[in-house]
Amino acid sequence: MLELINVNYEIDGKKILKDINLKIDTKKIIIMTGPNGSGKSTLSKIIMGILKPTSGKIIFNGEDITNLSIDKRSNLGMSYAFQQPVKFKGLTVKDIIDISSNKKDDMKFITNVLKEVGLNHSEYINRELDGKLSGGELKRIEIASVISRESKLIILDEPEAGIDLWSFNNLISLFAKKKEKSSLLIISHQQKLFKIADEIILLESGQIKSCESYFTIKNILCCNKCIKKECNHE
């Protein structure tokens, strides 16, 4: 489905990503983890087209998309949820899901999508996407808008940020369910997510250090300072 070939990215002569080679197959959950500043968010933005690589190629379903815009990648079946959700003043929750799903005024669909992320439609459907919503609420609404698109590849940057434990456990089940139709690339430090992953990518200093299953990489991860606080070897 997705292939990165010798992807590099630098700013002002500083190399942020170095010769990234990566393949993501269909209907897979890939978790990307690593220390802060290792290039995880940068790599995800390059895949989505928010940033352009300094060199290298990005292939999606056999098509070279290296120079394609964000909207063209979206039309090909790619979706992205930011680490910090974007606020849209004047738009309601219903508006953003209508736009994302292209199913205008389908109340049953909107109700089900909000339910999947742990939100009651009657409380949220007419809420504006502004500063009155908490960070966790905005995060769940953004995830709802992303999953409503039925994309081939869903990219989620730290979906656990600002989410309470109950909601996060439900999101894990949701992500596992979404694998039936989509591939997911998730940036996270949460070992609960590692356990549902088909592969875990360990990124350090702009390079892929390892790409393994949870059971073969857990000792490396538990010794890595970026997630040491999660170390329990469960």
- Please say if the pLDDT value at position 8 is more than 90: yes
Please count the helices (runs of H) and the strands (runs of E) in the chain.
9, 12
Domain residue limits, the chain: 2-230
135-156 per-position pLDDT tens digit: 888 888 999 999 998 899 999 9
Distance between CA atoms of 121 and 111, rounded to whole angstroms? 5
CATH class of this structure's domain 2-230: alpha beta
21-45 per-position pLDDT tens digit: 999 999 999 999 988 899 999 999 9
- pTM metric for this prediction: 0.86
- Please say if the pLDDT value at position 50 is more than 90: yes
177-198 per-position pLDDT tens digit: 999 999 999 999 888 898 899 9
Query: Closest Cα to residue 148, out of 79, 82, 50?
Result: 79
pLDDT > 90 in the chain, percent: 55
In this prediction, residue 222 carries a pLDDT of 57
- Pick from 22-26, 164-168, 228-232: least confident: 228-232
